[in-house]
Amino acid sequence: MRIAQIAPVWYPIPPTGYGGIELVVSQLTEGLVKQGHDVTLFATGESRTDAKLSYVFDEAPSEKIGQVFPDLYHALHAYERAEEFDIIHDHSGKIGPGLGFFSPTPVLHTLHGPATEDAKTLYKALSKKIYFNAISNYQRECYGDLNFVGTIYNAVDLDAYQYNSKKDGYLLFLGRMSPQKGAHVAVQVANKLNKKLFLVTKITEQHEKKYFEEQVKPFLGKNSEVVGEVDLKTKIDFYRHAECTLFPIQWPEPFGLVMIESMAVGTPVVAIRNGAVPEVIVDKKTGFIVNDSVDEMVEAVKKVGSIDPNDCREHVEKHFSTKRMISDYEKAYEHILELEKSKKL
């Protein structure tokens, strides 16, 4: 199959630091190449891939994130070549799928973001022409009636995320420095338990700096340590040796890659019930799901010794492996091509 993968333009593929969507796009692209497909990745010039790389920006225009021009210029370049492919898989935000509406080649758009009212209205209009997949059933319900071909969970590369059953005594928070991700809650939990906490986080944008200065930094215990963005290997090491990962999510996260990364190496997750969390963690078996309070998280952390690291790993092997994700997307592409064929009859 001649497949185009359109990545978001804001970070390289794979990401050198922060970038959940970018990691998924990378896994999927490399997996499809290994399956023997003819894959073209539309990303930025410094991306690394075994697919054919096509780009208009040598470097990711991260400093212009959210602006129209980079997003549009990147998507335009991809869709200009639409006729060269059997299917186009678009992971970019709104402008990409907007152009995809006029594509002669069928387009699948993976919903990576939250179902805001604006997003719902736009995607509903695009649904007349393009196909969608959700990344969790929770997200799918939020979006309602779109032209869905299914729910396909994100995945983790089990070869890279090596299992480790021997844990050190620290807690781990991993995520952007944003109130939505709940670093301030993680800090309180660590303080109450008097435990070491590593915060592996991105603090680059103005609002991230403001939140950190005002709501996190003043409360950091002497055992807490803020680590900046790290490379993949270092990140995996943080996961592998943590007693547990805290996922104090403060908004309805549509998936939550952190949870499967953690469980993959055998590290349980203590998470707040929100968004897709109950679809990803098996409560009391691969971690604990609590309601929205610091005290409940504290109590749950005290019990993580009861979780078998092997159960965490097995859960990811079964439901969140890249092998499963790639196979699901291949099936979705084939399904779309069948639907398009029957339309033409």
Token duo for residue 107 = 């387009």
- Asked if 80 interacts with a second copy (CB under 8 A), we say yes
- Asked if 219 interacts with a second copy (CB under 8 A), we say no
Q: Which of 239, 236, 265 is nearest to 164 (CA)?
A: 265
Can you tell me the distance from the alpha carbon of 2 to that of 277, in angstroms, rounded to the nearest whole number? Answer: 35
| Segment contacting a second copy by CB under 8 A, of 90-98, 149-157, 197-205, 252-260 | 90-98
The correct pick among 76, 113, 219, 334 for binding a second copy (CB under 8 A) is 76
- Asked if 251 interacts with a second copy (CB under 8 A), we say no
Q: Which of 257, 295, 297, 301 is nearest to 276 (CA)?
A: 257
Q: Could you tell me the smallest distance in angstroms from the CB atom of residue 232 to a second copy?
A: 31
- Asked if 145 interacts with a second copy (CB under 8 A), we say no
Query: Contact at 8 Å (CB) between 221 and 192?
Result: no
- Asked if 127 interacts with a second copy (CB under 8 A), we say no
**Stretch 36-75: interaction string toward a second copy, x if CB under 8 A:** -------------------------------xxx-xxx-x
Of 119 and 232, which has the nearer Cβ to a second copy?
A: 119
Q: Which of 73, 22, 70 is nearest to 49 (CA)?
A: 22
Q: Which of 219, 221, 172 is nearest to 198 (CA)?
A: 172
- Asked if 148 interacts with a second copy (CB under 8 A), we say no
Q: Could you tell me the smallest distance in angstroms from the CB atom of residue 103 to a second copy?
A: 8
Token duo for residue 272 = 């707040």
Q: Which of 101, 89, 95 is nearest to 25 (CA)?
A: 89
- Asked if 103 interacts with a second copy (CB under 8 A), we say yes
The correct pick among 125, 225, 251, 284 for binding a second copy (CB under 8 A) is 125
CA distances from 222 to 18, 176, 198, 235, 261 (A): 25, 21, 11, 22, 27
Single-letter residue type at 298? V
Q: Could you tell me the smallest distance in angstroms from the CB atom of residue 64 to a second copy?
A: 8
The correct pick among 94, 217, 241, 273 for binding a second copy (CB under 8 A) is 94
Q: Could you tell me the smallest distance in angstroms from the CB atom of residue 126 to a second copy?
A: 8
Q: Which of 63, 301, 267, 67 is nearest to 161 (CA)?
A: 267
Residues of the shown chain interacting with a second copy in the complex, contacts defined by CB under 8 A: 67-69, 71-73, 75-77, 79-80, 93-95, 98-99, 101-103, 118-119, 121-122, 125-126
